[in-house]
Structure 1
Amino acid sequence: MATPSSKAGTKGVPRHHRRQQMLDAATEEFGTRGYAAASLPAIAARVGVTKTLLHQYCGTKEDLYIACLVPVGDRLLDAVRTAMGPDGTAPHTPLRVLHAVFTALEGQREAWFVLYDTSLPPGGEAVRRAAEYRSAIDRLAEGGTAELLRAAGSDDPLDADALKYVWRDLVATLVRWWVKHPEQTPEAMTQRCASLFAAAATLTSDGR
């Protein structure tokens, strides 16, 4: 959910609060426009400061992106780990993970697209750091989907690999839909996902 832009400036604001305002504005800019199209002057204007001051506080465009990425990546990774829990994957785990993702993003939904930005320049620190977070989340998904398949009687590693990709794309699609429907709370989205999963189960049922 996009945060309102502020044109009021930051005069008299403590330094750490001012920097956080810049990071919030940058997260929105990167999340809605992508790294390649994001504009430092636009980010500065959201906060009501000069581009020069933005550089003084946050460095280069890549530095600023990484400063936005790290809290987003940490928050999502911690949310998924906690939702999966120490006791292994159970049938209700996918919904628990989705609820954790929605909750972690609430108030800053566009942050998802900061982590999964396809316009990052190749070979740089930004794309490397983003790939580390994505890989860590993928490893959790890989372990979880493999356990679900084993519980269903399948030990085929290709099944697990395919389901990992399906799950990743499903989560991304659900987040995109959620961003377009700001009235949907994390709880409402989780319930909606439960309904969708139940409907999908009927499509594969043989009637027994």
Structure 2
Amino acid sequence: MTTLPARAGTKGVPRAARERQVLAAATEEFGLHGYEATTVAAVAARVGVTKPLLHHYFGSKEDLYLACLNPVGDGLLDAVRDAMAEHATDAAPTPLRVMGALFAALDGRREAWFVLYDGTLPPGSAAARRAAYYRGAIDDLAAIGTADLLQEAGAGDPLDADALKYAWRGLCTALVRWWANHPEQSPEAMTRRCARLFAASRSILAVDDGST
């Protein structure tokens, strides 16, 4: 394989621009098909470059995945942190603020959520460890944000927090998956939908203490 100069591009496209194209295509491929089923050849074909050139730019398939994962993980973490920091100026409950922030962060790249929450990553690999780091950091923030809910409900079992963490992650994943199947829905529309769903859930699950 001929080694290309550091700034070389392809077909007149500057290397930096081509790398952005590759990362966008790879993020979508990993998100739609999972790490195991995604191939470097498929990503290269989508962008219109050769497989050797893609390897030259990013290295192995795992290196390419990590190049996609890091901006996704950093972006989602920043979005959640910012949403939780708005509690003093925003009357919306924390879970709704977080959902709105996630929708905004994923706008235009909804499949990116499934790059982070990919069950096909090789166990023990650098990719799996890095994804676990981001998932753990988001879970930790979620635990802080839902602590008030548990306190209000009088939940004293330490396992309640752990159960809620998994339930919250599953809810987020389910809503993002639904959103991916409804491309006409904006982040703002999804946030309003969540507000209605959360309100309906409270009504459905409410217990009338006087009836028992």
Tell me if TM exceeds 0.5. yes
Indicate conservation of the 8 Å contact 1:27/1:68, yes or no.
yes
Indicate conservation of the 8 Å contact 1:146/1:157, yes or no.
no
Question: Distance in 1 between the 2:163 and 2:92 partners?
Answer: 18
Indicate conservation of the 8 Å contact 1:95/1:194, yes or no.
yes
Partner of 1:77: 77
- Could you tell me which amino acid in structure 2 is paired with residue 182 of structure 1? P
- Taking structure 1 as reference, are residues 158 and 123 closer, same or farther at Cα in structure 2, changes over 3 Å only? closer
Partner of 1:171: 172
- Taking structure 1 as reference, are residues 162 and 91 closer, same or farther at Cα in structure 2, changes over 3 Å only? farther
Gap runs ≥5 in structure 1: 1-8
Partner of 1:60: 60
Question: Distance in 2 between the 1:166 and 1:200 partners?
Answer: 14
Question: Distance in 1 between the 2:179 and 2:99 partners?
Answer: 12
Q: Secondary structure at the match of 1:36?
A: helix
- The CA deviation at 1:200 is 0.9
Q: Is 2:153 the partner of 1:118? A: no
Question: Distance in 2 between the 1:120 and 1:206 partners?
Answer: 42
Partner of 1:22: 22
**Larger radius of gyration, structure 1 or 2?**
2
Partner of 2:184: 183
Partner of 2:199: 198
- The CA deviation at 1:67 is 0.2
- The CA deviation at 1:91 is 6.5
User: Where does structure 1 differ by over 3 angstroms across 4 or more consecutive aligned residues?
Assistant: 86-91, 151-156
Q: Secondary structure at the match of 1:44?
A: helix
Partner of 2:13: 13
Question: Distance in 2 between the 1:182 and 1:175 partners?
Answer: 11
TM-score (norm 1): 0.90
Indicate conservation of the 8 Å contact 1:149/1:160, yes or no.
yes
Partner of 1:46: 46
Indicate conservation of the 8 Å contact 2:87/2:94, yes or no.
no
TM-score (norm 2): 0.88
Question: Distance in 2 between the 1:112 and 1:75 partners?
Answer: 11
- Taking structure 1 as reference, are residues 184 and 113 closer, same or farther at Cα in structure 2, changes over 3 Å only? same
- The CA deviation at 1:156 is 3.2
Task: Provide, for residues 174-193 of structure 1, a one-character-per-residue CA deviation record: whole Å limited to 9, x for no partner.
Answer: 00100000000000001111
Indicate conservation of the 8 Å contact 2:95/2:146, yes or no.
no
Q: Secondary structure at the match of 1:34?
A: helix
Question: Distance in 2 between the 1:46 and 1:174 partners?
Answer: 28
- The CA deviation at 1:146 is 1.8
Indicate conservation of the 8 Å contact 1:34/1:117, yes or no.
yes
**Greater displacement, 80-89 / 194-203:** 80-89
Percentage of identical aligned residues: 65
Question: Distance in 2 between the 1:77 and 1:102 partners?
Answer: 13
Gap runs ≥5 in structure 2: 1-8
Q: What root-mean-square deviation, in Å, do the aligned CA atoms of Structure 1 and Structure 2 show? A: 2.0
- Could you tell me which amino acid in structure 1 is paired with residue 62 of structure 2? E
Question: Distance in 1 between the 2:142 and 2:33 partners?
Answer: 27
Q: Secondary structure at the match of 1:154?
A: coil
